[in-house]
Amino acid sequence: MNKIIKIILLISLFSCVDKKLSDQDLIINSIKEVSPSVVSISIEAIDSKEQFGFGSGLIISDDGYIITNSHVVEIGNLFDVFVIISGGEKYLAQIIGIDKLTDIALLKIDKTDLKFARLDNTNKLVRGQGVIALGNPHNLFSVSKEPTATVGIISGKNVNFGLRKSGHVYQNMIQTDASINRGNSGGPLVNLSGEVVGINTFIITESKGSGGIGFSIPISRVKDIIKDLKEKGAVDRTWFTGISVREIDQKYKDFFNINVESGVIVIDVEKQSPAENSGILLKDIIYKVNDRIVNSTMDIEEALDEGYFKTDDEVKLLIIRKNNFIKVNLKLIDPYNK
């Protein structure tokens, strides 16, 4: 009996070793597969070539399209943007488009036959699954001519930060404990199958070094934005609502016999506007916008920004009319193409 138990224990031990080696092989293979598509981005003065910033990027097509964070290249309109590919070749990059709201940018270099990354299409992330962050921390790419890799797990999903002072909106972010440092912004977060699941964007840390909590933009959002940037050079958000509102103070509550504590009251509805088309009336109370309770014009603007709404999208409103709650879909229309 003891002999059988020993055999079982030996089999279990070897199985654990095999599993550990298998995980290590997956990590090595993923790094090897994606690394050639990771680039270093350098922002340099046009005349002196003095560097004003650096970050990471990811090649997404064999003809030179590259994605990164908009905050990496936002000053690129004043300076030159250079891309260094794996191996050290350096190219002047063109900024195809920037979407500040989502913090995503699309670049292009004059180079073909490039190795490009596979973007995950499943959107099925699980807390605890292994991931790898690849990029250019502290501009080490310029020394090693290849990206740095750090390993971790998916620590959290759907983490919301809302609208930041920078003008960027960070919603449904991926949280990871893979070490991310200055310069990693714009680089990929990769699963163990060698697919890109996110774009590394920022960290929260108590110090200026690593060891903080990293956050990545889900690749599904990146793909949606890049499609618009590639086709139009921008994301169309030139819509309007046609609604004017005021906060509900005690005077309005008394005069209109309002019984709710939250919401804004509609004081004007523009003719032939999205608001009129959706049936919104004067004295309606807008209670929720995109499932968020609103108490001011700023609240409405933030709710729309945090929903990443584009022209021709529909936003859900919950309004109160004569003490009845009514659901309304408001289509966001371009004012110049009504």
Please identify every residue annotated as catalytic: 71, 103, 185
Distance CA 219, CA 128 (A): 18
Q: Is 255 helix (H, G, I), strand (E, B) or coil?
A: helix
Query: Is the separation of the CB atoms in 69 and 81 below 8 Å?
Result: no
Q: Tokens 């989502």 — which residue?
A: 102
Q: Which of 305, 256, 255 lies closest to 285, judged by CA?
A: 256
In this structure, the chain runs to a length of 338
45's tokens? 């003065």
Sequence-distant (≥ 6) Cβ neighbours of residue 329 within 8 angstroms: 278, 314, 315, 316, 317
Distance CA 147, CA 169 (A): 27
Q: Which of 58, 123, 119, 65 lies closest to 95, judged by CA?
A: 65
Checking DSSP bridges between strand 169-170 and strand 173-176, what pairing results, if any? unpaired
DSSP 217-229: EEHHHHHHHHHHH
Query: Is the separation of the CB atoms in 303 and 294 below 8 Å?
Result: yes
Query: Is the separation of the CB atoms in 243 and 319 below 8 Å?
Result: no
